A and B are shown apart, each in its own frame.
Chain A
Amino acid sequence: MLVVKNFCLSLNEKRLIQQVNFRIDKGHVLSLMGPSGIGKSSLLHFLSGTLHHSLTATGEVFLDGNPIHDKPTPLRKVGLLQQMPLLFPHMSILENLLFAISGDLKPVERLQTAQQALEKLGIPDKANALPDELSGGQQARVALLRTLLSKPDYLLLDEPFSKLDPALRRDVRAFVLAEIRQANIPALLVTHDTDDAKAMQGDCLELESSPSFSTST
Chain B
Amino acid sequence: MPLTYPRLITWCIALLLMVPIVVGLISTILPAFHYFPPLNEQQLSFAPWVELFSQGEFYASLKLTLITGIGAPIVSLWLAFSLLAWGYQRPFFRKIEALLSPILAIPHAAIAIGLLFLLSPSGWLIRLFSPWLTGFDRPPNWISVQDPYGLSLLLALTVKEMPYLLFVMLATMKSIKAQESLEVGQALGYSRLTLWRKVLIPQLYPLVRLPIFIVVAFSLTVVDLALVIGPNTPSTLAVTLLRWFNDPDFSMRFMASAGAVFLMLCVLLVIVGWELSHLLTRHLTRSGRSNGKRKGITDNLLRLGAGVGVLTLLSGFVALLLLPIWSLTRRWRFPDSLPSQWTWSNLDRAAPLLLELTTNTLVIALFSTLFACAVSLIMLETKRHSLASRHQTTNNHLFDWLIYVPILLPQVGFLFDLHVLLIYLNLNGDLSAIIALHFMYVLPYVYLTLKSPYLAFNEGYLQQANRLCYRPWRNYLHIKIAMLKPALLTAFAIGFSVSIAQYLPTLIAGEGRYSTLTTEAVAQAASGDRKQVGSMAMLQALFPILVFWFAQFIPSRWTRWRLAIQKWRI
Contacts and interface: CB of A to CB of B under 8 A. Distances in A.
Interface residues of B, number: 21
B469 A88 contact: no
B304 interface: no
Interface string B541-570: 000000000000000001100010001000
A82 B460 CA distance: 9
A100 B466 CA distance: 10
A100 B563 contact: no
Interface in A72-94: 73-74, 78-80, 82, 84, 86, 88-92
Contact of B460 (A53, A86, A130, A146): A86
A169 B566 CA distance: 35
B461 interface: yes
A90 B463 contact: no
Interface in A43-90: 48, 50, 53-54, 73-74, 78-80, 82, 84, 86, 88-90
A153 to B, nearest CB: 12
A88 B466 contact: no
B468 A146 contact: yes
A90 B483 contact: yes
A54 B391 contact: yes
Nearest to A77: B467
B310 to A, nearest CB: 39
B559 A99 contact: no
Nearest to B467: A80
B470 A84 contact: no
Given A86-B461, A89-B483, A147 B468 contact: yes
B389 A53 contact: yes
Interface of A is mostly: loop
B465 A99 contact: yes
B482 A74 contact: no
Nearest to B391: A54
B485 A90 contact: yes
A169 B378 CA distance: 42
A119 to B, nearest CB: 17
Interface in B155-203: none
Nearest to A50: B463
A21 interface: no
A80 B464 contact: yes
A100 B468 contact: yes
A149 to B, nearest CB: 8
B50 interface: no
Contacts of B391: 54
A79 to B, nearest CB: 7
A165 to B, nearest CB: 22
Contacts of B469: 99-100, 102-103, 150
A156 to B, nearest CB: 10
Interface string A91-116: 11000000110110000000000000
7 contacts: A48-B467, A50-B463, A80-B464, A80-B467, A82-B460, A100-B469, A150-B468
Interface of B: 389, 391, 458, 460-461, 463-470, 479, 482-483, 485, 558-559, 563, 567
Interface of A: 48, 50, 53-54, 73-74, 78-80, 82, 84, 86, 88-92, 99-100, 102-103, 128, 130, 146-147, 150, 152
